Amino acid sequence: MKNEKILICGSIGYGGINELKDFIKFLRSENLNIIDYISEEDMDYTHIKDFRDKQSLSEKIINHDLQYIDDADIIVILTNKPSFGTAMEQMYAFNKKKKIILYSEDPVPT
């Protein structure tokens, strides 16, 4: 697994970006090959609360994220917070037959 490229997905809004960055930092400290599509690409859009009038930005984010899913071998989904975008990324990864790991530090009701 150390040579496989791992992508971490999860909610970016409502403080989720900090959880993603912390998890990426932790996994990198374990010498895993982590794709950091947030820090390296300046993809922090947490200041935006409503995307309804931002179609071009939404398309940019979607295309950006799907490209990284295509490049990854393993997708780790942080399930601490609900996210429509993460749910769509999970389905996309599933359809691409990617290995998917769901992870939560706390119990998540099913």
Quick: pLDDT tens for 7-21.
Answer: 999 988 777 888 888
CATH of domain 6-45+53-103: 3.40.50.450
pLDDT, greater one: 88 or 39:
88
**pTM value?**
0.86
**What was the pLDDT predicted at 49?**
80
Average pLDDT, the chain: 88
Phi, psi of 108 (to 5 degrees): -120, 125
pLDDT at 33 over 90: yes
Q: Per-residue pLDDT averaged across 77-102, rounded?
A: 94
Give the span between the Cα atoms of 2 and 14, in whole angstroms: 31
- Residues with Cβ within 8 Å of 74's Cβ and at least 6 positions away in sequence, in order, are 1, 4, 5, 6, 7, 98, 99, 100, 101
